[in-house]
């Protein structure tokens, strides 16, 4: 993209309120199992095989992303999905202009601009551009129509949306690249002051208290 051309056109999309708005079960489920995520989550006490109810915040967050995926698929052009606590770094524009054409040439379905790696990088594709295996957070990513179509085919979202996307990446259903180091950060650490409570916190809490 030439420097004289605006990099992005920004539009705010109101999020789905999982406690007040309709979230169809064909789009987002109500329960999930920790088995997939446990392969990558190494926090003490985290374990597989736990059945959990998704919180209203998790369901609303997932539905907000599904709505974006549908818009991307219908528009047939890539879009940047950025959550409301996203904070671009000072190098955001420069590095995005550099890495976006490279990701396009490599055939990415999704390019993560912010991320928490849950596994080692699969491969360094270019300087500052890595193939991912499992990434947490959906704070900022560019999704191509190819990726949107794949995700929509896999509905309903049957776990928190970042885990859902990460699992498809781990299974090579979704080809994901990430800019490293990240060019978008969350305003606060993912486990602080979030308005999307994490349903699997109970797994860790129960472990600490000795419950099973």
pLDDT digits (tens, 9 = 90+) for 103-116: 999 999 999 999 99
Q: What mean pLDDT is predicted for residues 25-46?
A: 96
Q: What is the pTM of this model?
A: 0.91
Query: In degrees rounded to 5, what are phi and psi of residue 106?
Result: -80, -5
Residue 12 scores a pLDDT above 90: no
- The answer, yes or no, to whether residue 6 has pLDDT greater than 80, is no
Instruction: Provide the token pair at 211.
Output: 């419950």
Element (DSSP H or E) covering residue 2:
none
Q: What is the pLDDT of residue 211?
A: 32
- Comparing 64 with 189, the larger pLDDT belongs to 64
Q: Euclidean distance between the first and final Cα of the chain, in Å?
A: 54
Are the C-beta atoms of 46 and 38 separated by less than 8 Å?
Answer: yes
Is the pLDDT assigned to residue 208 strictly greater than 80? no
Residue range 41-67: average pLDDT? Answer: 96
DSSP code of 16? P
Whole-number pLDDT of residue 209? 38
Region 29-51 average pLDDT: 96
Angle at 80 between CA 152 and CA 30, to 5 degrees: 40
Cα Rg, the chain, nearest whole Å: 17
Give the relative orientation of helices 56-75 and 161-170 as an angle to the nearest 10 degrees: 60
Question: How much is the pLDDT for 2?
Answer: 47
The pLDDT score that the predictor gives to residue 212 is 30
Q: What share of the chain in percent tops pLDDT 70?
A: 90
At 84-101, the pLDDT tens digits run: 999 999 999 999 999 999
CA distance 194 to 187: 10
CA atoms within 13 A on the CB side of 21: 15
Over residues 129-156, the mean pLDDT reads: 98
Quick one: pLDDT band at residue 204, thresholds 50, 70, 90? confident
Average pLDDT, the chain: 91
CA–CA distance, 131 with 112 (Å, rounded to integer): 10
């Amino acid at each position: 993209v030439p420097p004289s051309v605006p990099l992005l056109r920004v539009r705010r999309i109101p999020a789905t309120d999982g406690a007040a708005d309709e979230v169809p079960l064909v789009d987002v489920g109500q329960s999930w199992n920790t088995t997939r995520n446990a392969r990558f989550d190494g926090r003490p006490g985290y374990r597989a095989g736990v059945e959990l109810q998704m919180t209203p915040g998790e369901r609303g967050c997932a539905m907000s992303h599904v709505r974006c995926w549908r818009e991307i698929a219908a528009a047939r052009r890539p879009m940047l999905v950025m959550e409301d606590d996203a904070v671009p770094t000072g190098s955001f524009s420069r590095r995005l202009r550099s890495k976006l054409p490279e990701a396009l040439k490599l055939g990415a379905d999704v390019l993560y601009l912010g991320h928490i790696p849950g596994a080692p990088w699969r491969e360094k594709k270019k300087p500052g551009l890595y193939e991912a295996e499992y990434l947490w957070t959906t704070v900022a990513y560019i999704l191509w129509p190819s990726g949107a179509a794949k995700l929509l085919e896999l509905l309903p979202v049957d776990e928190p949306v970042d885990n859902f996307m990460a699992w498809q990446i781990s299974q090579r259903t979704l080809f994901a690249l990430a800019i490293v180091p990240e060019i978008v950060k969350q305003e606060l650490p993912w486990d602080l002051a979030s308005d999307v409570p994490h349903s699997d916190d109970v797994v860790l809490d129960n472990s600490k208290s000795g419950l099973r």
